[in-house]
Structure formats: C-alpha cells, structure tokens
Amino acid sequence: MTLTEKLLARASGKAHVAPGENVWVSADVLLTHDVCGPGTIGVFKREFGKTAKVWDKNKIVIIPDHYIFTADSLSNRNVDILRTFVQEQGLPYFYDVIDDPNGYWIFDASRGQLKKQYGSRYAGVCHTALPAKGHTRPGEILFGTDSHTCMAGAFNMFATGIGNTDAGFIMGTGKLLIKVPQTMRFYLEGALPKGVMAKDVVLHVIGDIGSDGATYRAMQYEGPGVHTMNMDDRMTIANMAIEAGGKNGVFPADEKTFAYVDERTKRNGTKSDYTPVEVDKDQSFVYDDTIDLSKLEPTVAQHPDPGHRALAKELGKIQIDRAYVGSCTGGKTSDFLAFAEILKGRSVKVDTFGVPATPDVVHELQTTKWGDTTVWSLLESAGVQMTENASCAACLGGPVDTFGRMNKPMNCISATNRNFPGRMGHKESKVFLASPYTVAASALTGHITDPREFL
C-alpha cells in the first residue's frame, strides 16, 4: 500500500484498503477557524442538538486567523462565536485573539495595522500554527475546514480539507466516510541548488501536471531529495497539493520529522505518542515521476492559475506593482530569512508587504540578529512594510481594510499559494506566485526577476 492507503487502512480498522474503496475513517484532529468555524458549529448544533457535546474535546483545535485584523464587525463577531462555543464545550485548544475569556474581539483601526493587537494565546495562521503548537503527529488523520489543511501531510499524516457539513458531522461522531484516493508519486533526487527553494519544487510539479492534474489523488513525495529538505520545505510542498486538485500531500517521516514533532508536543504539552507509516516496497501508483532537484530553477506560476508555469528568467518583461511575503505557505521564519538574504542592504522599488504567519515568526525575526541589526529591522530598512499582526491578511483578499489587500487592478508577485482571479483583492489584479527569493529580487527591480542575479 502507499502511505495514504496505509494511513486510511489504519484509521478505518482494516488490514488493507484499495483506491476507490469507501471507508469510515476516525479523526485524530479536527481543525477549524474563524471563517468556517461558525458554520461548522451551526451544522453540529442543528444535527446533534443545541446541548450536544462534541465527540472528543481534546481532538478539536480552533484557530482564528483569517479575517482578524479588520474593523469589519461581522468578521470580529466570528471570533466571538468561536469563544462562546469553546466555553460551552470546555475545549482546551482554542487560540483566541484576546486573553479575556469573557471579552469581545474588536480590532482598533486607529492604532494602525503594523503594531500587534492580540493576546498571549493567539497563534496566527492555522496551518503553520497547528504543527508549531504540537497538533501534528506522524501516522494520524487530520481533517480541517480549509483547503490547505493538506500542509500537515509534511508530517506523515493524512490531512485534507473538508466542508462545514462534514466538519459538523465529525464534531458529533469523530468519523468521516472517505473514498481512498489513487496515489501519484514524486520521487525527489539530488538537492536544491543556490537560489531555488521548496516553493520552486511545487510550482514545477503543478506546472507539469496542471492545476487539475491531481484531482482527488494523493501526492506522495519520496526519495533521497526529501531528506535534504527541512520541515518548512516539506510543509510548503504539501501545502500546495490542493493547487493541483490533490486530496492530500504526504511525506515519509524521518529524524527531522520526529525532532520537530517531539520538540513541539513536549513544549506545548500535547499528545506526544504516535506511530508513523513507512514506505512499502510494494506500492501501486497511478503516476510516477522522478525529479532531479539540482536541475530546477526559480519558477513562477503566472496569473490566473497555479499551474501556469514559467521560469523567473523568462518573465523579465512583466512589471509588478506590489510584492508580498506571507501566508501559511510563504510566511514562515525560513521564508523571511530567504527574503532578507536578498534584501539585506538594498531598497525595494515597489510597495512590499511582509506578513509573518505566526506571532512566533514575528518574535524570531525581531530577535534574530545579522550583525548589529535584527532581521525585522533589516527588512524595514529595505522598505518592507512589516506587520506584527500575523494572520492570513491579503492572501485571500479579505475585507477592504485588510493589510496588503489589492484594492485596485495591479500586478503582485507573491509568496502565497493561490492566484485565481480576485484571490488577493481586486478581481482585475494579477498574482504571480513565486518563492520568497524571487519575490525579493522582483521587489528590488520592479519586474519579475531571477533571484540568482542577487545571490
């Protein structure tokens, strides 16, 4: 069996499953956030009763992160709906925006967008916060009300996005009926050359198979190239499985996986035992490709499709108005360090926005020193508008006052993961997806630029 088949067989209590088979799967973790949480709670209460209790309060994780730092009152209210539900149910894993359990969330627009407006438990973007807070473990099943839930496949999990109805059902029962997907294998050899990042790998893959090339399929990454990558790299790649239509992305577990998970579960006091699934010798794939990482070059997905691939060096004629680094995919500390590597001692030519994925990333950037200056100050000195308000921000547009949102037609080069029309705001704006290196180089020149020119 493939990794996904092994994960689903175990979670459904079967010795063997095959693609196409429908199995009842037990969830280890159910994730929801401020956009889909209220809807999920509504379904749960409608179907199971107003006073019903969730199936397992220790397996539900609620992370407000999407429309947070906005004066839009309905968005603020969503966070309050989550808080009320958490209190009713006694849920331990709620990463609230505010510290007062009886308070209400109101964003104070008069304080501006740059300085932090959150309490001590706020965790930032759910897919980055989930592993950081010790909720991802090899061998487990994660369902989340967000399409990029697949990011946790980096940790040797079956992780997939679901709708509010399915999530409401899981809240009540802990189970979901899943059709076992076929598996596509991407066998990675070699190591990434200078100037090329994990983002380039996944943009290359999606360019090969198209943005519907993995529809309802598992995307399994294997090979020696996997082990050259750190967990942030693997998260970036697994995150974008959905951009090819994939049901999930999945990696084998190794010492890097165990070290990351063990440290986070210990630090946060979450469940620490797990049993990974290992790669079988006998596997059957619907597609099998080998990729030599050393041959890859800085890659861009052109508007309006994550599969519309070109090399950065081929797109020098495309002028950009805006550059953006942030999101679950591109807002990790390692992403900002790569971004800063190119911007150090230079100045951006276009409006450039930096949105860390989590408060921990803010802290790391504000305390990591390169010489006499912190990485955070270095980025600000280069002209980047850095906000401490870690969140999804303009990755998916959001209300009009969202930091970094494109409120008029413009071209943006972005380290995020999706570039369909209107994704980052105005429906006539254009988004070009790229690595933090390529975003930085392009911000310096005002047109899409191969970052190797600056390295």
Asked whether the CA dihedral 191, 197, 198, 199 is positive or negative, the reply is negative
DSSP letters for 123-164: --SHHHHHHHTT---TT-EEEESSGGGGGGGGGT-EEEE--H
Q: How far is the CB of 294 from ligand SF4 (least distance, A)?
A: 29
The DSSP call for residue 110 is G
Residue 315, sorted as left (phi over 0), alpha (psi -120 to 50) or beta, turns out to be alpha
Which range in 19-27, 121-129, 202-210, 430-438 contacts ligand SF4 by CB under 6 A?
121-129
**Which residue has tokens 């630090």?**
267
C-alpha separations of 98 from 115, 330, 423 in Å:
15, 25, 28
Read off the tokens for 412.
């943006």
Which C-beta is closer to ligand SF4: that of 55 or that of 69? 69
**Shortest distance, position 329 Cβ to ligand SF4, whole Å:** 6
Binding status of residue 241 toward ligand SF4 by CB under 6 A: no
Nearer Cβ to ligand SF4 (41/357): 357
Q: Of the candidates 26, 327, 414, 442, which one interacts with ligand SF4 according to CB under 6 A?
A: 327
Stretch of 108-116, 123-131, 162-170, 171-179 contacting ligand SF4, by CB under 6 A: 123-131
Q: What is the three-class DSSP state of 22?
A: strand
Kindly write out the interface string for residues 66-95 of this chain, putting x where it contacts ligand SF4 by CB under 6 A and - elsewhere. Answer: x-----------------------------
Query: DSSP secondary structure string, 288-331?
Result: EEEEEGGG---EEEPTT-TT-EEEGGG-TT-B-SEEEEEHHHH-
Distance of CA 232 to the CA centre of its chain: 10
Backbone angles phi, psi at 411, to 5 degrees: -100, 130
Nearer to ligand SF4, 126 or 361 (CB): 126
Candidates 417, 419, 435, 442; binder of ligand SF4 (CB under 6 A) is 417
148 binds ligand SF4 (CB under 6 A): yes
Phi, psi of 88 (to 5 degrees): -60, -40
Considering the complex, what minimum distance in angstroms separates the CB of residue 398 from ligand SF4? 8
Give whichever of 201 and 394 is closer to ligand SF4, judged by the CB atom: 394
Between 385 and 414, how does the x/- string for binding to ligand SF4 read (CB under 6 A)?
-------x--xx------------------
Binding positions for ligand SF4, 4-63, rule CB under 6 A:
none
Q: In sequence order, what are the residues at sequence separation of 6 or more whose Cβ sits closer than 8 angstroms to the Cβ of residue 289?
A: 184, 185, 186, 187, 208
127 binds ligand SF4 (CB under 6 A): yes
Token pair of 286, please? 């619907």
Q: What stretches of 347-428 show up as alpha helix (H) in DSSP? A: 359-367, 375-381
| Smallest distance from ligand SF4 to CB 262, Å | 25
- DSSP letter at 338? H
- The nearer residue to ligand SF4, 83 or 148, going by C-beta atoms, is 148
Query: Which one of 34, 80, 146, 233 is in contact with ligand SF4 (CB under 6 A)?
Result: 146
CB of 423 to ligand SF4, least distance (A): 9
Binding site for ligand SF4 (CB under 6 A): 66, 125-127, 146, 148, 327-328, 392, 395-396, 416-417
